[in-house]
Structure 1
């Protein structure tokens, strides 16, 4: 696999992880990450963006040397969702979710 031509894919994944991690707070076990938790994360991010509230994750500036707090926007929300989705999708595809004890959360058969 070729490395990315810019920092953007890495920054987006990092921001998604930081936002999700900040939302989860002190939960240490990945198995505590459920569909309900992710629905709450999405609702929280949307609420923050809609009301211009502070983002959970500081933004890296100057190539990660400094961090600054920012307000959530539709753009930061989209980057957080996309970054978290990419990391979680890779974990599913690679089998890491099974190693961590996460369940895929498939809907029940009717």
Structure 2
């Protein structure tokens, strides 16, 4: 085996240990590149998570404000309908009384039928 080493050196090829050292150096460089990549990906993930959180907060605030506006508008409509019904009931009290009486009778018949 000693002759093989001397023959490979005399052929001009580097020794196997030189290849091994080169491979180890490249592997170390690859490991450091992977560590740097993992760090970058982690930072990117944190930034994206923060951005998504901010967007979600903004959207929820917008939805809350929109809901408040819709509720306010609905309250105004209900108030307007209530006033309109009051005015109509005052203009035609007999019709409203007979209508309420009819609705009450229908409900009473349904309740009796259910028993």
TM-score, L = length of structure 1: 0.24
Structure with bigger helix share is: 2
Structure with bigger strand share is: 1
Higher relative contact order (CA 8 A, sep 6+): 1
Q: Which has the larger radius of gyration?
A: 2
